[in-house]
Chains A and B, each alone.
Chain A
Amino acid sequence: MSRTGGQSSPRDIAAGALFVVIGCAFGWFAQDHDLGTPNRMGPAFFPTVLAVMLTMLGTVILVQGLRRAGEPIGRWPWRAILLVLGPGILFGLTIRPLGMIAAVPLLVGLSALASRQVTAAGLILSALALTLFSIAVFAYGLGLPIPVFGRLLGG
């Protein structure tokens, strides 16, 4: 592995900063509740202690990252991220109104594009096969309460 990034470690800095932000957020919102006493701990006690710990740990990771060299974070694979997570959200949006008959092929068809080695035949065949499989197994086989035809399709 090549050690670039000069005198700092971008991965440590980013991770440390992330932990500090999350720790501060939990610490801030925990103060909406009662801290209580050691004898009768309130709902804020445990989260506050943890939030302080996380913030301190994040600070140490961040400072260490500033002082020693490490690997760069690297390029983010936006294509894969968008085409895996996007179809997942679309599935959540379409499953009620359209049902599995449309939501599953949409999910499979769009997410298949995330791979750089996608082929048209593979995409269509797997969308077809997975849709039939899901309807047969999940709806009829296991009897899960997931609609095959959604509201808009008269289900």
Chain B
Amino acid sequence: MEILGGLGLGLSVVLTPLNLAWCLIGVLLGTLIGVLPGLGPAATIAMLLPATFGLPAVSSLIMLAGIYYGAQYGGSTTAILINLPGETSSVVTALDGYQMARKGRAGAALATAAISSFVAGTVATALVAFLAPPLANIALNFGAAEYFALMVLGLVASVALARGPVLKAVAMVVLGLLLGTIGTDINSGEQRFTFDIPELADGINFVALAMGMFGIAEILTNLDHEASRKPLTRVIGSLLPNREECRRIVGPILRGTGLGSVLGILPGGGAVLGAFAAYAVEKKISKTPQAFGQGAIEGVAAPESANNAGAQTSFIPMLTLGIPSNPVMALMVGALTIQGIQPGPQVMSEQPELFWGVIASMWIGNLMLIVLNLPLIGLWVRLLTIPYRLLYPAILVFCCVGVLSLNNLTSDVYLMILFGLVGYVLVRLDCEPAPLLLGFILGPMMEEYLRRAMILARGDMTTFVTRPISLTLLLLTLAIILVLTLPRVRAKREEAFEEAT
């Protein structure tokens, strides 16, 4: 009953003209950047963070969330029509979606993608509503030791599920944690690593770091691969899947939703992982695996439902524990912090309108997406003709003006440019920036909990293994590390990511 009451409260928050408008803006923006290749949700949300400063916390989170799941819709459109995934999570959709389009079934593929996403979005919203409150209640009993252990688990798991070499991802997490220590130490008041630069006294500006690593560095990466556009499929065909196709997509949608939801909750998860896994599962259990890659409608339904479900359930750890599981969630934590709200289990009890409003907005947003998107496909397709050479100077302007407006400090602009360079160099060296951002967000919290736990335990390091919850979390962490170092698992993991790209 508590949940129904909560959802009711959430709906009453969302169904105000102002919040509906922000939700609509969010999902439209999300679809737009999902359609545009070379501009992802992380970069967009980083650019918009300064603009959310003046909004109420609920409205800003509703809009930012809309961008994230809206991008999953938009990404599939380009994947199907021109074999160019707008988002990483739509890479798999392109495999069979584009083949369907070539056979004149583009309309059916687009509709399947939209329906799959909607079903998954609805189920995932319910899951968030049911799972978040009990998790938050458990987390309310967490002490400093448990929080520290939980963050260790989160960081290690994010490495396990990240792309690229494991050791480099671990090093990036540690580098992020170190960058987080720059600034004034809250316990002693001493300035660490600031070199007497007054602008660094409050630490590195999170928005400058995120915009540099995701906005600026991505421009440089994209300019590397400035390639000619692929031909557009003009024939959309009938929008509705036929009866046979409808029957075939039920199973994949349900399995994709389940798999995507579970993988979305895991630290390091989110939309991308679920899509890859769901496609692999469908191919494995299919009676006609050879049809995959040739335009199998199951190959569109499964990853599309999985990426949308994952995008939504990845809110669970962020909303209940205050721990971001992927870069987009790290930016959401940043958005909350800008608003003066400390993310964590207390958000649900202290800010119920915010908590339930965001959850309810996800379902409303998904509804808006399915109603708006199918008729608007023509418009999105036309947007694809915007060349990247016109797009990136605009991104640059938004980044520069945005980061400047936050604190009105030109030093933030220079910091952003610096991190753009650093981010680009690291990507060239096969080091993904996502783990660094997670480390940077969690670093200050981790240090604080570590110090507090040690004070409470009078300097006894065994406190982490004598408290049952903390011990369980650390054992889980150890298990992940052990599994990761097994040669067979390592080979499989690399294979899985290789296959997908």
Determine whether A144 belongs to the interface, using a CB cutoff of 8 Å to chain B: yes
Hey, which chain B residues are within 8 Å of A85, CB to CB?
216, 417, 420-421
Cβ contact within 8 Å between A84 and B223: yes
> Please, what's the 1-or-0 string for B401-431, where 1 marks a CB less than 8 Å from any CB in chain A?
1001100101001101100110011101111
- Closest residue of B by beta carbon distance from A91: B400
Determine whether B380 belongs to the interface, using a CB cutoff of 8 Å to chain A: no
Hey, which chain B residues are within 8 Å of A142, CB to CB?
51, 54, 405
- Complex Cα distance A86/B428, Å? 20
> Please, what's the 1-or-0 string for B148-184, where 1 marks a CB less than 8 Å from any CB in chain A?
0000000000000000010110110011011001000
Which residues B364-388 have CB closer than 8 A to chain A? 387-388
> Please, what's the 1-or-0 string for A132-155, where 1 marks a CB less than 8 Å from any CB in chain B?
001000100010111000000000
Determine whether A18 belongs to the interface, using a CB cutoff of 8 Å to chain B: yes
Partner-contacting stretch, out of B6-14, B305-313, B450-458 = B450-458
Cβ contact within 8 Å between B388 and A115: yes
- Complex Cα distance A19/B428, Å? 14
Hey, which chain B residues are within 8 Å of A30, CB to CB?
192-193
- Complex Cα distance A81/B252, Å? 44
Hey, which chain B residues are within 8 Å of A34, CB to CB?
188
Cβ contact within 8 Å between B216 and A95: no
- Closest residue of A by beta carbon distance from B430: A11
Given known A-B contacts A84-B223, A118-B389, A126 and B174 have beta carbons under 8 A apart: no
- Closest residue of A by beta carbon distance from B190: A43
> A9 → chain B, closest Cβ, in Å?
9
- Closest residue of B by beta carbon distance from A79: B223
Determine whether A6 belongs to the interface, using a CB cutoff of 8 Å to chain B: no
Cβ contact within 8 Å between B226 and A19: no
Hey, which chain B residues are within 8 Å of A126, CB to CB?
390, 393-394
Question: Which among A12, A53, A127 is the interface contact of B174 at CB below 8 angstroms?
Answer: A53
Cβ contact within 8 Å between B396 and A107: yes
Determine whether B242 belongs to the interface, using a CB cutoff of 8 Å to chain A: no
- Complex Cα distance A73/B430, Å? 9
Determine whether A112 belongs to the interface, using a CB cutoff of 8 Å to chain B: yes
> Please, what's the 1-or-0 string for A45-58, where 1 marks a CB less than 8 Å from any CB in chain B?
01100110110011
Given known A-B contacts A47-B178, A107-B393, A144-B401, A77 and B451 have beta carbons under 8 A apart: no
- Closest residue of B by beta carbon distance from A86: B417
- Complex Cα distance A70/B390, Å? 35
Hey, which chain A residues are within 8 Å of B165, CB to CB?
12
- Closest residue of A by beta carbon distance from B167: A61
- Complex Cα distance A51/B451, Å? 17
- Complex Cα distance A42/B188, Å? 8
Hey, which chain B residues are within 8 Å of A64, CB to CB?
167
Interface-centre pick from A42, A91, A96, A146 (highest chain B CB count, 10 A) = A91
Count residues of chain B with CB under 8 A from any CB of chain A.
63
Hey, which chain A residues are within 8 Å of B141, CB to CB?
none
Hey, which chain B residues are within 8 Å of A29, CB to CB?
192-193
Question: Which among B168, B185, B394, B425 is the interface contact of A61 at CB below 8 angstroms?
Answer: B168
Interface-centre pick from A46, A54, A87, A111 (highest chain B CB count, 10 A) = A46
Cβ contact within 8 Å between B397 and A108: yes
Determine whether B392 belongs to the interface, using a CB cutoff of 8 Å to chain A: yes
Cβ contact within 8 Å between A43 and B401: no
> B228 → chain A, closest Cβ, in Å?
9
Given known A-B contacts A19-B171, A38-B459, A84-B219, A46 and B450 have beta carbons under 8 A apart: yes
Cβ contact within 8 Å between B224 and A77: yes
> Please, what's the 1-or-0 string for B222-265, where 1 marks a CB less than 8 Å from any CB in chain A?
01101000000000000000000000000000000000000000
Which residues A87-113 have CB closer than 8 A to chain B? 87-89, 91-93, 95-96, 100, 104, 107-108, 111-112
Cβ contact within 8 Å between A81 and B220: yes
- Complex Cα distance A148/B24, Å? 30
Cβ contact within 8 Å between B450 and A95: no
Cβ contact within 8 Å between B216 and A84: yes
- Closest residue of B by beta carbon distance from A33: B190
Cβ contact within 8 Å between A89 and B223: no
> B445 → chain A, closest Cβ, in Å?
12
- Complex Cα distance A43/B185, Å? 6
- Closest residue of A by beta carbon distance from B397: A130
Determine whether A66 belongs to the interface, using a CB cutoff of 8 Å to chain B: no
Determine whether B447 belongs to the interface, using a CB cutoff of 8 Å to chain A: yes
Hey, which chain A residues are within 8 Å of B170, CB to CB?
57
Cβ contact within 8 Å between B390 and A43: no
Q: Top 10 nearest A-B pairs by Cβ distance?
A: A39-B459, A92-B413, A115-B389, A38-B459, A15-B429, A43-B185, A144-B405, A88-B417, A57-B171, A80-B223
11 contacts between A and B (CB under 8 A): A33-B192, A47-B192, A57-B170, A60-B167, A73-B428, A81-B220, A84-B420, A85-B421, A122-B389, A126-B390, A134-B401
